[in-house]
C-alpha cells in the first residue's frame, strides 16, 4: 500500500505560512519502502527559494507567538499530542513503511513522541528566571528567559517522528517558531504531524515544513539567514561538523545530536542474563540503526564464555522479516549504502582476526520483500584496530571482547572519538559510581539500556555532539537568558 492510498490528498508536501504548496516547477522525489524497495510515495522537492519562504514565514509569526500566553501555547501542544494519540495506529503503520522498523518498535516511537509533546507542554507554564541575592539593599537582580526566535529543525530517518517531536515541542513551548526539514528517506511522518498541527489550528507561520532531497541547498539558506537563531540537528557527525562551521557566520545557537559508538561493560558481579537481554534488545532495535544502541561489549574474562553463550542463543532466536509482520524482531536496513557499510565492517573485522559467533550474511526473503535484510551478527575477539571498533556501523553487528581489570575496561570504553552513551552491568554500587564518573559519555546507563526520557537531559561529548535535548536543560537551549539590575531610589 502506498502513502497516497493511505491518506494523502495534498496540493504539495511543503507547508509554508499555513498552506500546503508544491515545489517550484512541481519537482518531486520518490520515497521507497525499505522492506520491498517499492515506491511508497512522492514528495515535493523544495529548493532554496521555498526554504527562504519558510524562514520568512517563521520570522513573521515569531513576535505574536512569542507573546502568546504560556497556557495557550501549552494547550496547542497538548492538542497536537491528543491528535497523535488518536491516530497512533496510522502513524505506527506509516513508520513501518517509511523506515522499515518492526510494528512494536514503531508503536513505541509513537508513544514516546506523545510523551515528549506532553512533558514539554507542561514546562511551557514554568519558564522561570531567578531572583538573585544582592550585596546592596538598594539593588535588585534577577534573570529573564526569552525565546531565541526562529529555529531550524533538521531530523534523521531512523526516528523521524520522535526526533521531530523532541525538537518542535520545546521550541513551541518556549515561544519559538520553526522551519523543519525531515530526512528524504522518511518525510511523510513530518508531513502527517504537520497536518495534525494544521488541524489543531496553530497560527500560520509558527510551524513550516520543507521536504527536499537537496538538503544542503535548503539548509544553507537557514545558515545564512540572520532571522534563524538556532539550528537543532540529529544525524551524522560529518554533517554536524559542517553545520557547526556554517552557523558561525551569523552566530547561531546550535544543538547537535550526532553519532554514537556505545560500549557495554559487563562485570562478573552483574546479572549476566539481564545484561544479555538488554544488550540484544538495544543492539538489534531497528536493525541496529540507532545512535544509542550497544555496539561494543566488554566482558570480564571470568564470565566471558557465559555471556557469549547467552548472547549467541538470543541472537539466533531473532526473527528477520518485514516490519509489518507482528512477529518480526529485526527489519531491513534503510538502503543499499547501509548494507554496504555493515558488510565492509564485517569483512574488515574477519580479515583482522575476529571470530563469527552468529549471523554474518544477508537474508533473502520471498517477494515482495526485496530489501536489504541482514542477519543479527555477533563477532568475538574484536580488536581496537578494526573499523567496527572505531566507526559507527549503524547496523545489526555486535562485537564482544574481554577485559581483566576495571581500569582496562574503562580505558577501552573511552578509546573512540564518540561520547554519546555508555552502559555497564554491575551490582557493586561503588563501582557503579566510579563508572559514572570515569566513562566519558553524555549518558551512562547502569543495569539498563533505557536511557531516553522526556525529563532527562540527553546529549553527547566529543564527536557525538554539542548541547542537550530533553529535560530543563534541553528547554534552556531554546531560550536567551537576560540579566536585569534595578536600583531602587528613595521615594521623594
* Structure letter (DSSP) for residue 288: G
Which residues, in sequence order, are CB contacts of 243 under 8 Å at separation 6+? Answer: 154, 219, 223, 231, 233, 254, 256
The domains of the chain are located at: 3-258+465-481, 262-454
Q: What's the pTM?
A: 0.95
CA dist., res. 53 & res. 143, Å (int): 34
Please compute, for residue 272, the number of CA atoms within 13 A of its CA located in the half-sphere on the CB side.
Answer: 15
Among residues 15, 17, 13, the alpha carbon closest in space to that of 60 is found at: 17
> Under a CB-based contact definition with an 8 Å cutoff, are residues 92 and 184 in contact?
no
- Choose the catalytic residue: 257, 380, 391, 469: 257
- Quickly list H helices, 175-254: 188-200, 215-224, 237-247
Relative to beta strand 150-154, strand 228-234 is: parallel
- Quickly list H helices, 248-287: 272-283
Please state which architecture CATH assigns to domain 3-258+465-481: 3-Layer(aba) Sandwich (3.40)
> Under a CB-based contact definition with an 8 Å cutoff, are residues 42 and 222 in contact?
no
Matching residue, cell 502513502: 3
Per-residue pLDDT of the chain (492 residues; tens, 9 = 90+): 566 555 556 778 999 999 999 998 889 999 999 999 999 999 999 999 999 999 999 999 999 999 999 999 999 999 999 999 999 999 999 999 999 999 999 999 999 999 999 999 999 988 778 999 999 999 999 999 999 999 999 999 999 999 999 999 999 999 999 999 999 999 999 999 999 999 999 999 999 999 999 999 999 999 999 999 999 999 999 999 999 999 999 999 999 999 999 999 999 999 999 999 999 999 999 999 999 999 999 999 999 999 999 999 999 999 999 999 999 999 999 999 999 999 999 999 999 999 999 999 999 998 889 999 999 999 999 999 999 999 999 999 999 999 999 999 999 999 999 999 999 999 999 999 999 999 999 999 999 999 999 999 999 999 999 999 999 999 999 999 999 999 998 765
Residue 291 annotated in active site: yes
| Phi and psi, residue 213, nearest 5° | -95, 0
- Choose the catalytic residue: 176, 291, 406, 477: 291
| Phi and psi, residue 251, nearest 5° | 50, 55
- Quickly list H helices, 41-102: 48-66, 70-86, 88-99
| Phi and psi, residue 238, nearest 5° | -60, -50
> Under a CB-based contact definition with an 8 Å cutoff, are residues 31 and 43 in contact?
yes
Residue 165 annotated in active site: no
262-454 carries CATH number 2.90.10.10? no
Amino acid at each position: 500500500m502506498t502513502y497516497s492510498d493511505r491518506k494523502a490528498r495534498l496540493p504539495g508536501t511543503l507547508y509554508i505560512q499555513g498552506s500546503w504548496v508544491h515545489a517550484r516547477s512541481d519537482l518531486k522525489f520518490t520515497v521507497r519502502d525499505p522492506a520491498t524497495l517499492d515506491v511508497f510515495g512522492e514528495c515535493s522537492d523544495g529548493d532554496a527559494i521555498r526554504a527562504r519562504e519558510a524562514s520568512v514565514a517563521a520570522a513573521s509569526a515569531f513576535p505574536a507567538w512569542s507573546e502568546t500566553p504560556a497556557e495557550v501555547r501549552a494547550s496547542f501542544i497538548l492538542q497536537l499530542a491528543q491528535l497523535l494519540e488518536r491516530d497512533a495506529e496510522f502513524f505506527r503503520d506509516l513508520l513501518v513503511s517509511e523506515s522499515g522498523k518492526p510494528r512494536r518498535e514503531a508503536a513505541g516511537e509513537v508513544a514516546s513522541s506523545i510523551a515528549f509533546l506532553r512533558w514539554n507542554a507542561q514546562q511551557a507554564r514554568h519558564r522561570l528566571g531567578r531572583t538573585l541575592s544582592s550585596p546592596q539593599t538598594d539593588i535588585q537582580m534577577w534573570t529573564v528567559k526569552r525565546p531565541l526566535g526562529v529555529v531550524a529543525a533538521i531530523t534523521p530517518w531512523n526516528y523521524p517522528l520522535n526526533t521531530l517531536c523532541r525538537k518542535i515541542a520545546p521550541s513551541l513551548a518556549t515561544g519559538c517558531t520553526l522551519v523543519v526539514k525531515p530526512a528524504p528517506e522518511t518525510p511523510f511522518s513530518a508531513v502527517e504531524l504537520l497536518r495534525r498541527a494544521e488541524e489543531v489550528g496553530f497560527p500560520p507561520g509558527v510551524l513550516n515544513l520543507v521536504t527536499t532531497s537537496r538538503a544542503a541547498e535548503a539548509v544553507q539558506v537557514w545558515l545564512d539567514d540572520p532571522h534563524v537563531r538556532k539550528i537543532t540537528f540529529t544525524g551524522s557527525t560529518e554533517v554536524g561538523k559542517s553545520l557547526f562551521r556554517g552557523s558561525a557566520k551569523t552566530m547561531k545557537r546550535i544543538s547537535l545530536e550526532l553519532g554514537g559508538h556505545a560500549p557495554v561493560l559487563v562485570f562478573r558481579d552483574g546479572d549476566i542474563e539481564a545484561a544479555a537481554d538488554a544488550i540484544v534488545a538495544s543492539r538489534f532495535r531497528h536493525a541496529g540503526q540507532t545512535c544509542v544502541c550497544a555496539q561494543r561489549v566488554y566482558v570480564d574474562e571470568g564470565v566471558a564464555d557465559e555471556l557469549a553463550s547467552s548472547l549467541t542463543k538470543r541472537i539466533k532466536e531473532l526473527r528477520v522479516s518485514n516490519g509489518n509482520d507482528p512477529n518480526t524482531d529485526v527489519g531491513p536496513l534503510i538502503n543499499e549504502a547501509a548494507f554496504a557499510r555493515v558488510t565492509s565492517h564485517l569483512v574488515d573485522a574477519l580479515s583482522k582476526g575476529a571470530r563469527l559467533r552468529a549471523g554474518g550474511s544477508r537474508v533473502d526473503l520471498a517477494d515482495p520483500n526485496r530489501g536489504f535484510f541482514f542477519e543479527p551478527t555477533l563477532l568475538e575477539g574484536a580488536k581496537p584496530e578494526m573499523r567496527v571498533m572505531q566507526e559507527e556501523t549503524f547496523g545489526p553487528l555486535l562485537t564482544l571482547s574481554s577485559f581483566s581489570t576495571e581500569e582496562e575496561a574503562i580505558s577501552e570504553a573511552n578509546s573512540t572519538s564518540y561520547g554519546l552513551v555508555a552502559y555497564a552491568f554491575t551490582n557493586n554500587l561503588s563501582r557503579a559510581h566510579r563508572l559514572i564518573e570515569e566513562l566519558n559519555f553524555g549518558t551512562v546507563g547502569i543495569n539498563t539500556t533505557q536511557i531516553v526520557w522526556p525529563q532527562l537531559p540527553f546529549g553527547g561529548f566529543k564527536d557525538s555532539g554539542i548541547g542537550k535535548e530533553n529535560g530543563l536543560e534541553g528547554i534552556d537551549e531554546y531560550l536567551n537568558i537576560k540579566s536585569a539590575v534595578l536600583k531602587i531610589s528613595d521615594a521623594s
